[in-house]
Amino acid sequence: MSAALPLADCRAVVTGSTSGIGRAIAMELARAGANLVIHGRDLHRAKGVCDEIHQLKRDAAPIVTDVGDPDGWESFVDAAWRVAPIDVWVNNAGADVLTGEAADWTFHEKLGRLWQVDVAGTIGLARAIGRRMHERRQGAIVNIGWDQAATGMAGDSGEMFAATKGAIMAFTRSLAKSLAPSIRVNCVAPGWIRTTWGDEASDYWQRRAVRESLLRRWGEPEDIARAVAFLASPAASFITGQILEVNGGSADGSEEESND
């Protein structure tokens, strides 16, 4: 590995990497020298991201599966491992319950889907890949949490995301202990990041996102991608079991009202 390409010749998997934060992570890892497995639920979109990575002179292969299906976890990991032994695994896939038809679901329907995909999917895949990495005595796992899970946020969205992302963050700390010392496990906890929901959010949420960051701006998917790439790289070789908040600094500017 070179300083210019810290992940040169590594093989990385990023779940949920056909758009948004996941795509940004995959592209950043490719720019750092990694070869990728691109995961999603739409083969055409997965192949599209692979084509972008090929333009960076890196290898990329698509895998399509639903991480919310427990029966598919082992086969997903097996398929990725058959491409090449995995050095970096990023559990980014998450259910979208804020846009599209899911926005009209009940609280419990949304919570159930988040738990199935975000929590159970992350745990099942991390344990499966962790076993293989442990046999090989090398690897890094990065999960995705949420910066306000530790402090809480009022409203339906705050309650369901605090419960699910908080579970992922707690699991990260425990898995790091289980897989030490050969495998590092960390978590990036994004703040207000301008994804599809952010682009469509009301003026209330636009103002709130800016106000609650010390840097007074929305975060971008690339901000999360750079943090993940750091934790996956040799530069973070003495970092494990940590939650890295990427939120522009947390400002105490939240309002009492909820706008769910």
pLDDT attached to residue 253:
55
H or E stretch covering 89:
strand 88-91
The tokens describing 93, both together, are: 């896939």
> Each residue of 183-196: pLDDT tens digit?
999 999 999 999 87
pLDDT band at 205 (very low <50, low <70, confident <90, very high): confident
The domain defined by 11-246 carries CATH number 3.40.50.620: no
pLDDT attached to residue 252:
67
Measured between alpha carbons, how far is 180 from 235 in angstroms, rounded to an integer? 17
Residue pointed to by tokens 């919310």: 68
Give percent of the chain with pLDDT exceeding 70: 95
> Each residue of 161-185: pLDDT tens digit?
999 999 999 999 999 999 999 999 9
Measured between alpha carbons, how far is 234 from 246 in angstroms, rounded to an integer? 20
Peptide bond connecting 181 to the previous residue in cis, omega within 30 degrees of 0: yes
Residue ranges covered by each domain of the chain: 11-246
Burial class (CB in 10 A: 0-12, 13-18, 19+), 197: middle
Residue pointed to by tokens 């500017």: 253
> Each residue of 34-84: pLDDT tens digit?
999 999 999 999 999 999 999 999 999 999 999 999 999 999 999 999 999
pLDDT attached to residue 231:
98
Mean of the per-residue pLDDT values for the chain?
94
The tokens describing 211, both together, are: 């106000």
Strand 88-91 relative to strand 140-144, pairing = parallel
Among residues 67, 71, 33, 70, which one has the least CA distance to residue 53?
Answer: 33
Residue pointed to by tokens 């292969």: 61
Measured between alpha carbons, how far is 172 from 156 in angstroms, rounded to an integer? 24
